[in-house]
Each structure stands twice: as C-alpha cells, then as structure tokens.
A = this chain, B = another copy of it.
Amino acid sequence: MNDTSAHLNDLNRQLDSAWEDLFKGSLFLSTIEQGPVTKSLYAMYLIETYHYTKHNAKNQALVGSILPIEDTQYLKFCFQHAAEETGHELMAYHDLKSVLKMSEIDLPGPLPSTEVLVAYLYWISSHGNPLQRLGYSFWAESCYKYIGRLLKKVQTDLSLDPHHMTFFISHAHIDVEHAREVEQMLIRGCKKPGDWQDVATVMLTTLRLTGAMMDEVHAEHQKFMNNTSNRYPFLQEAS
C-alpha cells in the first residue's frame, strides 16, 4: 500500500471513530434512532441546515480568492465546487415548507452553535493551510454512509415522500461525484505529512461542531415540547 492510500485509510479510520463517538454521545441522533421523530424536530434541523448551507458556497470560494494556491486545478475546483453548491440552502427551505405545508416561513436566525460552525468554516477557509477545507468536504460529501439509515427513519416516521426530502436525497446523488473529486484533490495536493494532519483536524473539528449544532437543535426541541420556547411560532400546529 502506498503512502497516499495509507493516509486516506487513516483519514477514514479517524472518521469512523469520530462518527462512532458522535452516535454514542448525541441526544439528537439517539432521538431519531429511537423515535418516533416529530415534524418539529425535523423542521428545526432543516432550519439550521438552511443557515449553514447558505454559507458553504461562499466560504468554499473564499479559499480560492484569499489563500495562496499554486495548483491551478485545485483553484478551479474551489470555484467550481462553490458554483455547484450555490443555492442549495433553498432545497432545505423547500423541504421545510413542504413538510410544514406552508407557502412561506419567516425563519428565525441561526442558533449559536450553527454560527460557531459557520465561523469556523470561514476561518479555516481564509487562514492556514489552503488544503484543510477539504477535510470538511471529505466527511460532508460522504456522510450518507453514516446517516443514511437515520434519514430513512425520518422518512418513515413522518411518512415523507422523496419530494419532501430534496436536500438530503439530491445531495446523496451529487455528493458521490464530489466525494471522488475531493479525494482526487487530496491526493494531488497533500505532499507533506502536515497537510494530512491539517485536513484531519478540520474534518474532526467540523464534524464535532456539526454534532454540537444537532445537540442544540435537540435542546431547542425539548424546550419546544415543554412549551418554554418562543423561537418557532410557526411550528405550533405542525408538531
């Protein structure tokens, strides 16, 4: 096995282990697993998905705009990938309206943990190793392996049709190709052991911050179920 395969395997091992920890500790994930899932929990998750997704194309392009990248092909990847991710938050918004059967919703702003995830993504996209943002894409584009059965569970519990889940279903398709490209970029770009390390750090940290976001969604959902939340007036009838 050559060095590159060894590094990729190592990345995958670390990712497996991080997801395992996440599944052990996350109240959000275990609520979905054990169910039944409520519409309001799914809706709250979609709202945060809308918020961070809105920034993904922007911070992806920032890598190319700001950081010093020698490799023209990687630079092009940054802008192309940004173009492809543009507007995906609208799918999350569509699914939200669809599951709540509403034609327009005045969304609350992002939760603090979502803001922290977004902040970190901008930071690592504009400082440090230009390759490190690939660590985020590495897990984000291949997460269906880990969360696929949970999405199935949500779909069953809420009797959702595929057109209520465009965000997750179309991403599952798009992302197969993206995941391949991300791997290629890692193979082209990572020349030094430090590169793989930087990619791994961003992979683990963004996954952890996404977990924290999920847990804040869970906590908000608890408040909502206990009638101590006023963040989601439009969810009253949908729960």
Contacts and interface: CB of A to CB of B under 8 A. Distances in A.
A57 B78 CA distance: 11
Interface string A104-119: 0000000010011011
A199 interface: no
B75 A201 contact: no
Contacts of A75: 57, 86-87
Nearest to A58: B65
Interface of A: 57-59, 61-62, 64-66, 72, 75-76, 78-80, 82-83, 86-87, 90, 112, 115-116, 118-120, 122-124, 201, 204-205, 208-209
A115 B119 contact: no
Contacts of A87: 72, 75-76
Tally of this chain's copies: 4
B123 A119 contact: yes
Given A83-B76, A122-B123, A205 B58 contact: no
Contacts of A80: 79-80, 83
A119 B124 contact: yes
A83 B72 contact: no
Nearest to A67: B58
B72 A64 contact: no
B76 A86 contact: yes
